[in-house]
Amino acid sequence: MEQNLVQGNKYLIKRSDTVSMIEVLVITETSYKFKYESGVSDWTTREHFHSWYTIIEDVTNYGIGEIPSKESTKTMVNFETCSICHGKGTIPDNISTAKTKPCPLCMGNKIVPKYT
Question: pLDDT tens digits, residue range 22-36?
Answer: 899 999 989 999 998
Reported as a pLDDT band with limits 50, 70 and 90, residue 4 is: confident
Reported as a pLDDT band with limits 50, 70 and 90, residue 91 is: very high
Q: What would the pLDDT profile of 58-76 be if each residue is shown by its tens digit?
A: 888 876 555 555 566 667 7
Across the chain, mean pLDDT equals 84
pTM over 0.85: no
The span from the CA of 35 to the CA of 73, in Å, is 21
What residue spans define the domains of the chain? 10-62, 76-116
* DSSP 8-state symbol, 106: T
